[in-house]
Amino acid sequence: MMREFFLGFIKVHILYHASRREVCGVEMMEELRRHGYDISPGTLYPALHNLEKWGYLESRTEIVGGRRRRYYRATRKGRRALEEARNKIRELVGEVLE
């Protein structure tokens, strides 16, 4: 059950960061750990792929130190989804944290 919640929170985090600048999986994993999410690549990468599949993120690959690294950024659709999520979060926080 908690996993269900966290998967949603994680996607909002990803969208938020990818709307500010390009992010790669490794950086996002560190960022989420900093926020207290004990996240594995097996959870993070499918979340990134789904966000891209739904058109919320777009990616490009770059070779870094001989390894392919994929960088993601939010699309216009992703920014709109983030805006909607923000409104819902504001409303939820207003009620749940009262």
Contact positions vs Zn ion (CB under 5 A): 13, 31
Residue-wise burial string across 25-35, b where 16 or more C-beta atoms lie within 10 A, e elsewhere:
beebbebbeee
Is residue 12 a contact partner of residue 82, using CB atoms and an 8 Å limit?
A: yes
Cα separation, 98 vs 91, in Å, equals 11
Cβ of residue 66: shortest distance to Zn ion, in angstroms? 29
Cβ proximity to Zn ion, 61 vs 88, nearer residue: 88
Nearer Cβ to Zn ion, position 19 or 75? Answer: 19
CB atoms within 10 A of CB 67: 7
CB of 35 to Zn ion, least distance (A): 5
Least CB distance to Zn ion at residue 65 (A): 25
Cβ-closest residue to Zn ion?
13
